[in-house]
């Protein structure tokens, strides 16, 4: 009897954590063609969830990102890096605008997340981000 109860509790916990993990992190590939150099992304973040946008870059391309939202920040990471030491831009301290020449080939990532005080309050907000790659 205790074994069945343990299995039931474990199953619920496992399924809940899987659903939470899915909600917390969404990764989307962005494709920039030869003609299209601009993307506008509209999304929603709530609580501790994050949105990740990955895209391919050639060395010496210029990336410009503008974020419209008072409650949301974004970070930009070099290829194959997702920790703060791999960031080329930290929006919490550097603002809502980035423009710079990227020095490496590869898949860069933009991570969008709520401001810390709003995460704790489990706030939900819409953001709009304009991305240009030339």
| Cβ atoms of residues 87 and 77 within 8 Å | yes
Instruction: Please give the residue that has the higher pLDDT: either 105 or 5.
Output: 105
Q: What is the pLDDT of residue 18?
A: 40
**Structure confidence by residue, pLDDT tens digits, 46-86:** 999 999 999 999 999 999 999 999 999 999 999 988 777 89
Strand order in the sheet with 72-77: 25-29, 50-57, 106-114, 72-77, 87-90
Query: What confidence tier does 25 reach under pLDDT thresholds 50, 70, 90?
Result: low
Q: Quick check: pTM over 0.85? A: no
Q: How far apart are CA 125 and CA 110, in angstroms?
A: 18
Per-domain boundaries in the chain? 25-133
Q: What is the CA radius of gyration of the chain?
A: 18
Cβ count within 10 A of residue 50: 16
Instruction: Please give the residue that has the higher pLDDT: either 5 or 40.
Output: 40
Is domain 25-133 in CATH 2.60.120.380, yes or no?
yes
């Amino acid at each position: 009897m205790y074994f069945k109860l343990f299995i039931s509790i474990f199953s619920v916990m496992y399924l809940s954590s899987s659903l939470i993990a899915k909600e917390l992190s969404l990764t989307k590939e962005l494709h920039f063609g030869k003609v299209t150099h601009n993307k506008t992304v509209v999304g929603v973040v709530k609580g501790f969830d994050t949105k990740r946008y990955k895209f391919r870059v050639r060395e010496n391309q210029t990336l410009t990102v503008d974020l419209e939202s008072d409650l949301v920040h974004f970070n930009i990471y070099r290829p194959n890096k997702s920790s703060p030491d791999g960031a080329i831009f930290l929006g919490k301290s550097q603002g809502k605008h980035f423009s710079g020449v990227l020095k490496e080939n590869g898949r860069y990532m933009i991570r969008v997340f709520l401001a810390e005080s709003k995460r704790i309050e489990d706030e939900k907000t819409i953001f709009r981000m304009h991305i240009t790659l030339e």
